[in-house]
Amino acid sequence: MHFSLFRVDDRLIHGQVVEGWARPLSVTTIIVANDRIANDASQKLIFEFAVPPEIKTIFSTIDNMTNELPLIENESSRTIILFSTIDDVYKLVDNGFKLDKLNLGGMRSVENKMKLSQTVFVSTTEIKILNMLLKKGIDINIQSVPGEKQKNLKELFSKKHLLE
């Protein structure tokens, strides 16, 4: 299986993911790694309607991800894994899953969050988790759509004195 993109986007599947990322990357599978959605049949159905029929959609809890990936492994598949939170990414990595790159695409603003880009806002807890992921050697970039210039999180954290 070829992982085309690991993305944190609190909206999960939406037009920007399907049209902006899945089509240009010739994605064959989208995996939503989210405990709440994986256990909610009506939410899964809503998200499935947003995905073209030629793209397989899989919903998994974070704990089941490492068990389910070998079952869908196929050398010709191109896969996007979507997370709604940084915490979910950390849980998966902490469970032993290896990833080398992570895209931060959409983490909306709520009170008491720091703006890193037009689409990414982080809390102090998320900053700590992102630092832990950086220490594990994961290359983290902020990029909403493929045509947008990537912002390297490590460099951004260094400039903002957030790097631990």
> In this predicted structure, what is the pLDDT of residue 32?
95
| 164 assigned to some structural domain | no
| Structural domains counted in the chain | 1
> In this predicted structure, what is the pLDDT of residue 76?
66
Task: Decide: pTM greater than 0.75.
Answer: yes
Q: Give the chain's length.
A: 164
> In this predicted structure, what is the pLDDT of residue 16?
85
CATH number at residue 72: 3.40.35.10
> In this predicted structure, what is the pLDDT of residue 9?
95
| 67 assigned to some structural domain | yes
Sign of CA dihedral 91, 117, 101, 81: positive
Assess contact for 12 and 106: CB atoms under 8 A.
Answer: no
* pLDDT by position in tens, the chain (length 164): 567 899 999 999 998 899 889 988 889 999 999 999 999 999 999 999 999 999 999 999 998 887 766 666 665 678 899 999 999 999 999 988 888 999 999 998 778 899 999 999 999 999 999 999 999 999 999 999 888 999 999 999 999 999 98
What single string gives the DSSP state of each residue in 144-158? SSTTSPPEEHHHHHH
For residue 11, the tally of other CB atoms under 10 A from its CB is: 14
